[in-house]
Amino acid sequence: MIILKPTIAFFLLLLLARLLGKKQMSQMTFFNYVTGITIGSLAANIISFDDGTIWDEVIGLIWWCLLTAILSYITLKSAKLRVIIDGQPVILIKNGRFQESSLKSTKMSIEDITMMLREQSIFSIKEIDYAILEPNGKLSVLKVQDQLSLIKKDMNIPTIKPKYLPEEIIIDSKIVYNNLSSYGLNIQWLENELKKQKIQSIGKVLYAELQSDGSLYVLLRDKKK
């Protein structure tokens, strides 16, 4: 029985994985994630339970996978149900501006977004035209047009090492003091940069980013707020 139960669980999972198809992994939405964990838990019960029979656990695992397959088929045919179960894309950055209402609805912070951008080798919000959070949790990015032009290498133009690495200085009207001090900058410098852009209060700033040339790129809060 010690050998039989893991063997049954192994081949059963192999068959059920073929039944569910590749969507379970290729489009890992939150529902797919929870379903996958549940399937693994039910398979573990087949191996670990020592009550003399495994058929209750086997039937439970097969039924759960059938329900998942049936629901996948229904969502394939029904767009409305697909939105309810899998969710829909959410625009987090539009025309280079953070959408505060979208950030709140998705429970994501600006730090979360900038981290996901850096994972795509994008270090400055200034490069972004649109950023869309997909139902599977990934971030799709459309850069501004001037960032899609020829690179310097194509035109044999010598490159110059940037003075700074783009870094967040203000996030949600709060100063990131560690980033400020790491470049040898201070509050006086920040206030002067804001005054150059006729911004008198940090409370009006949603996001500010130090650019590679030492300038400050600022996004203000929505005027209606």
CATH number of the domain at 208, please: 3.30.240.20
Burial of 201 (0-12, 13-18, 19+ CB in 10 A): exposed
**pLDDT of 147:** 61
3-state helix, strand, coil in the chain (%, to 5): 50, 15, 30
> For the segment 75-131, what is each residue's pLDDT rounded down to a tens digit?
777 777 777 777 788 999 998 899 989 999 888 899 999 999 999 989 888 889 899
The secondary structure element, H or E, covering residue 209 is strand 205-210
Maximum alpha-carbon separation in the chain: 78
Q: Which residue has the tokens 């003091």?
A: 177
* Cβ 131 vs Cβ 113: under 8 Å: yes
Say how far apart CA 168 and CA 175 lie, in whole Å.
9
Same-domain pairing of 136 and 75: no
Same-domain pairing of 216 and 176: yes
How many domains does the chain fold into?
A: 3
Which structure tokens are listed for 1? 């029985």
**pLDDT of 153:** 63
DSSP string, 139-160: EEEEE-GGGSS--GGGGTPPP-
What is the residue type of 84? I
**pLDDT of 159:** 64
Task: Kindly state whether residue 156 falls inside one of the protein's structural domains.
Answer: no
**pLDDT of 30:** 67
Task: Kindly state whether residue 207 falls inside one of the protein's structural domains.
Answer: yes
Structural domain of 102: 90-147
**pLDDT of 28:** 60
Alpha helices (H) along the chain: 4-20, 23-26, 30-48, 55-77, 79-86, 100-106, 110-118, 177-182, 187-196
Same-domain pairing of 135 and 176: no
Same-domain pairing of 14 and 67: yes
Burial of 61 (0-12, 13-18, 19+ CB in 10 A): buried
The secondary structure element, H or E, covering residue 70 is helix 55-77
Same-domain pairing of 55 and 95: no
Burial of 131 (0-12, 13-18, 19+ CB in 10 A): buried
pLDDT in tens, the chain (225 residues): 567 777 777 777 777 777 666 555 555 666 777 777 787 787 777 777 666 567 777 888 888 888 888 887 787 777 777 777 777 889 999 988 999 899 998 888 999 999 999 999 898 888 898 999 988 788 999 888 766 555 666 666 666 667 788 889 999 899 999 889 888 899 999 999 999 999 989 999 999 999 988 899 999 988 655
pTM of the model: 0.61
**pLDDT of 2:** 63
* Collapsed DSSP state (helix, strand, coil) of residue 168: strand
